[in-house]
Amino acid sequence: MEAVDSGIPGCVTIRFPRFADERGMLAKVFQSSGFLGVGVDLRVDEVFVSRSGRGVARGLHFQLPPHAVVKVVACLDGAILDAVVDLRRGSPTFGEHRLFELSGEGDRAVVVPEGCAHGFLTLGAGALVAYLQQGEFDAAHDAGIHLASAGIPWPETDPVLSARDRSLPALTDFDSPFVFTSAPSPPVEPLPELPITRPPGA
């Protein structure tokens, strides 16, 4: 496995082994020793899977302290434009976002550290997305910011949102309880700029 830096501390993409033959495809999206080998120490407590149709957006979500969580996000089928926003006061990238294009044909997952909001928009007909989570879901600490408030250049101007996501506060109205603490950097390489593309027929 390889880790690629996003520029947001603790947020990296993991390139995982992926094999294809005449039968189809096999991918190893998580291996504890492989993650440790690239500087990501993750304990998986829960795994969620979501299926979203065309033009659906989810986010931007996170859990508040003391139940903040770390996520690893991988697209198993279809394609998504994945977003991470740094909400940690004192972080060198506080308030900034990074975008990642993930797909079922790709070999990357995104590590979303504690104190960062996460969301995505489907590209094409829809997507099946898996979330490996360190820390369990806690409804009392579940929170978010509106996905249109973080300066993200979403290619869809009117996505399909849940009622809850439509009512989330703007980033400027969110009094962040997260505080950045520096940690040793994992052995990573610079993240190349990726163009935002859509699958054929999208």
- Whole-angstrom Cα distance, residue 61 to residue 157? 19
Known catalytic membership, residue 131: yes
Distances (CA, A) of 100 to 30, 75, 149, 164: 18, 11, 18, 24
**Which own/partner pairs from 147-154 qualify as long-range (CB within 8 Å, at least 24 positions apart)?**
147/57, 147/59, 147/60, 147/83, 147/119, 150/60, 150/83, 150/85, 150/95, 150/97, 150/117, 151/97, 152/83, 152/85, 152/97, 152/99, 153/99, 154/57, 154/81, 154/121
Active site residue 97: no
Catalytic residue among 61, 97, 118, 146: 61
- Tell me the three state secondary structure of residue 36: helix
Active-site pick, 67, 97, 118, 131: 131
Determine which helix (DSSP H) or strand (DSSP E) holds 53, and give its type and residue range: strand 46-53
Which residues belong to the active site?
61, 131
